[in-house]
Amino acid sequence: MNPFWIVLAVTLLFLAALTCFLVYYASKSFEEIKKGYEDSVLLYEERMEQFPTEKSRTSRKIRKIAGIVLDVLLVILALFFLLSLVDRMVNSFSLPYETMVVATGSMSEKNEKNTYLFENDLDDQIQVNDLIGIRTVDSLSEIELYDIVCYVDEEGRQIVHRVVAVEEGYLLTRGDANDVNDPLHVTMGNLVGVYTHFRIPYVGILVFFVQSDYGILAFCGILYVLVFYDQYTKLLSRCSERRKDEVRKAIGETKDYVLVSKSGTLTVKKEDFAFAEETDADDRSYLILDERKESLPESEFSVWKTN
């Protein structure tokens, strides 16, 4: 059996289990907000956003940096995925340009025996895992001495080496790091094209991975989790805002009150907010207004409706 199908089955099982866990966790979070378990901390966090303390500023900066890092990683991942798709599409059609990843180090440095490299200041070496551009040609006459070309050897491998001699009907090539010419003569029959000097250093290993079935599977899995998380945060924010509206409506214009819920006790006097995690609340949050204790009912709105 192909190992990929085993990996695919395991990945799908993992995503299914993860989805069940996330749905359960999200439903529990929404239910706790609707029941008022988070009332005091919701209003306190809102206050801290409006009038942040040094501690809340630091916490906000950390969350902001984490969000930026996550966005950057997602963009990078998407760019590599897009790059791999473009590479596949370009190389699948008969276009004048294509890209390829350099797999060996035969062009990575100058061999001292290759004096022509130093005499002609040929400093366009290519490193392992560089992504390079190749342009097709119509005849060998378009190839000049010391151009870098790509050809297919007898084993079907693509070789990227420098032209060291232009003969009648064929080319002689050699890797810059090698000290002997390639045994195979390069003709129009095995020539892929000439190096365009378009090069993206060291991204080849990622391109290889993203182009593979495993890479596509990994990208889809990560994208699924990120989209799920994004929807969860939006629903959580919507649920929190609706609950806060109901609590603020119950508070009314009162400037002094105590809000008690499972998340803690919020004491408000004029514009001073004090929050403590200690609480004597049971399953229902309540307000203390003018020494009167008023229970706050559970919310009836649906989290899943947009309006």
**Is 306 domain-assigned?**
no
Phi, psi (rounded to 5 degrees) for 38:
-105, 10
Residues 247 and 151 grouped into a single domain:
no
pLDDT of 112 strictly over 60: yes
Question: Are residues 43 and 100 located together in one domain of the fold?
Answer: no
Task: Estimate to the nearest angstrom the gap between the alpha carbon of 275 and the chain centroid.
Answer: 37
pTM: 0.61
Q: How confident is the model at residue 198 (pLDDT cuts 50, 70, 90)?
A: very high
Q: Which domain-ending residue is among 153, 184, 203?
A: 203
pLDDT of 253 strictly over 80: yes
Is the CB of residue 264 less than 8 Å from the CB of residue 278? yes
Among residues 203, 221, 238, the one where a domain terminates is 203
Q: Note whether 136 and 153 are within 8 A (CB).
A: no
Q: What would the mean pLDDT of 53-65 be, rounded to a whole number?
A: 72
Please give the average per-residue pLDDT across 242-252, as a whole number. Answer: 88
Tens digits of per-residue pLDDT, 117-156? 999 999 999 999 998 999 999 999 999 999 999 999 999 9
In a domain, 226, yes or no: yes
**Phi, psi dihedrals of residue 156, rounded to the nearest 5°:** 85, 10
Q: Please check whether residue 252 lies inside any domain of the structure.
A: yes
Q: How confident is the model at residue 284 (pLDDT cuts 50, 70, 90)?
A: low
Domain end, chosen from 151, 182, 203, is at 203
Confidence tier at 228 by pLDDT (50, 70, 90): confident
- Provide the token pair at 93: 């059609």
Q: Are residues 77 and 216 in the same domain?
A: yes
Calculate mean pLDDT across residues 32-44. Answer: 87
Q: What are phi and psi of 195, to 5 degrees?
A: -65, 130
Identify the domain containing residue 243 by its residue range. 3-86+212-295
Same domain, yes or no: 112 and 258: no
Whether 100 and 188 map to the same domain: the answer is yes
